[in-house]
Structure 1
């Protein structure tokens, strides 16, 4: 990053106000912690902390419509994650963004539902965070070496990279827009 760009970003940060500065700093810390946690803790153990894995369409997975205050907070969390993720010194993938957003929302008493899905079919899969890969018509993912698993799906529905996204009471917090080829596998919800 050039010095001029760094100076511009520092000036912008200084002018956004204390509330937004706090959100930006929290997003930086949460994204970094999410990256470390996802590396250090086995996913099944981590997922157990998120609640119950429910299949798509389960009525317990429907988040109640949020009031205006909760929607405003969810949009502010969305803004912070969206602003900070591209600036992190590592690739803040959709799953790190989902974990960070869920934590930021929970800290504010708002339920964020973490969804997981996988792309099916050919073409580009995933959202604007750039995590997806292209799947060629022969079922092989481009941008990496083919494996026997790639060959096994050739001729059937091709699977591409997975994706995670968060919604909170109707607010699309992270991982949106969703690709039409994305199929939800399930979501994590805290059930009473």
Structure 2
């Protein structure tokens, strides 16, 4: 435990702030998933049909998106509640939208030994922010966007 605290304080002030925001937002998103219908949860987002197209991000936006993704992954590993892929994707959406960075999140399904599995991941431009591990085996069933994608 002491080692984790020391590691936290070795982070820059900016990284600590992002970690704390991610931790808090993961909790809010987990509570929302448990208490609100998915349809209502994604209502503010646009259902996106331009799969495969993306917007170029500035270098500053890319750095921020990567920093947010890192903070979410770090915070998700330390929450006492389940912070699975959907919680992380929605957290990324909230944190990125707050900073005016456009992106999309995907919902996919795959069959695994007679069971259906689902996965969610988020992306900004060509950068995978959350849920990138193994996303290639999932068939995309829905894509939701926020931000500037309506300009494409």
Shared fold (TM-score, shorter chain, > 0.5): yes
Decide whether the 8 Å contact of 2:119 with 2:135 is kept in 1: no
Alignment equivalent of 1:161, drawn from 111, 117, 132: 117
Q: Which residue of 2 aligns with 1:82?
A: 73
Unaligned 5+ runs, structure 2 = none
Which residue of 1 is the match for residue 12 of structure 2? 17
> Any unmatched runs of 5+ in structure 1?
1-5, 121-134, 142-159
Cα offset for 1:182? 0.8
RMSD: 1.6
Match of 1:96 among 75, 87, 104: 87
Runs of 4+ in 1 over 6 A off after TM superposition: none
- 2:28 counterpart of 1:33: yes
Whole-Å separation in 2 of the counterparts to 1:179 and 1:165: 7
Kindly indicate whether the alpha-carbon contact (under 8 Å) linking 1:63 and 1:113 is maintained by their aligned counterparts in 2: no
Q: How many residues align?
A: 148
Q: Give the equivalent residue in structure 2 for 1:187.
A: 143
* 2:48 alignment partner in structure 1: 54
SS of the aligned residue for 1:118 comes to strand
TM-score of the pair, normalised by structure 1: 0.72
1:8 aligns with 2:31: no
Partner of 1:111: 102
1:6-34 deviation line (CA, Å, top 9, x unaligned): 11111111121211110000010010000
Of Structure 1 and Structure 2, which has the larger fraction of its residues in helix? 2
